[in-house]
Structure 1
Amino acid sequence: MKQITPKETHTYLQSHPEAVFIDCRSEIEYLFVGHPVGAIHIAWQDGPDWDVNPDFLGHARKAASVNRPVVLICRSGRRSADAGRYLEKHGFPEVYNVAHGFEGDMDEQRHRSTRNGWRFDGLPWEQT
């Protein structure tokens, strides 16, 4: 799995329209925090118990079909890295993880989107 920055991700997605961009955060994060424009939502883990989504693999296979590249994003890049390793283990040939994720690393005040990440870099996102 290749780690790419949010800006590299945006460039990659523009030049590879066949790629599938999956936001694997919880439904609450996806809906209320916002998400990258063009990302589809397939939760890796979700509440109330935060177990791994038993349908994640099936939904990812359906979204990516056969050989489409998959780009994963979460809040900070950690959950998406776990999800990416899982997809690779199950035969996905080309998986990318967005380093620093959508909200990025925490600063000294424990706030996100102040150091790095998709939103920090000013990349297109929306809130539904």
Structure 2
Amino acid sequence: MQHLTPKQAFELLQSKPEAVFIDVRSEMEYLFVGHPEGSILIPWVDAPDWEINPHFVSHVKTAASINRPVVLICRSGRRSIDAGEALEKAGLKEVYNVLHGFEGDLNEQHHRNLTNGWRHDNLPWGQT
């Protein structure tokens, strides 16, 4: 798995339009916090049980079809590492993790979006 900053991930997605951009956060985070433009939601863990999605790998394989790069993003870049490792274990070859995720790392006051991350870098995002 390769790790990219949000800006590097955005550039990769622009240069490889065949890439699949997957947001692995929960549905509530995706809908209420916002999400990167062009991303699709396939949660790694989700409500109500907050357990690993047993269909995650198969859903990603369906979305990515054959040999398409897969770019993963979560809130801070941690869940997406676990999800990426599962995808690599299942045989996917070109998996990328977005470092710092959508909201970035916590700052000294325990707030996100202030030091790094997709939103902090002013990359395209929205709420639906």
TM-score range, shorter chain: over 0.9
Matches within 5 A, 1:28-107: 28-107=28-107
**SS of equivalent to 1:122:** coil
CA distance in 2, matches of 1:76, 1:50: 17
**SS of equivalent to 1:107:** coil
- Match in the other structure for 1:11: 11
Listed one character per residue, the Cα deviations across residues 43-93 of structure 1 (whole Å, up to 9, x for unaligned) are 000122210001111110100001000000000000000000000000001
- Match in the other structure for 1:125: 125
Structure 2 stretches of 5 or more lacking a match?
none
Question: Size of the alignment, in residue pairs?
Answer: 128
CA distance in 2, matches of 1:24, 1:51: 13
Structure 1 stretches of 5 or more lacking a match?
none
- Match in the other structure for 1:112: 112
Moved runs in structure 1, 4+ residues, more than 3 A? Answer: none
The CA RMSD measured in Å over matched residues stands at 0.5
CA distance in 2, matches of 1:87, 1:50: 19
CA distance in 2, matches of 1:8, 1:108: 26
CA distance in 2, matches of 1:106, 1:73: 16
User: Given the two structures, how large is their TM-score scaled by the length of structure 2?
Assistant: 0.99
User: Shift of residue 108 of structure 1?
Assistant: 1.3
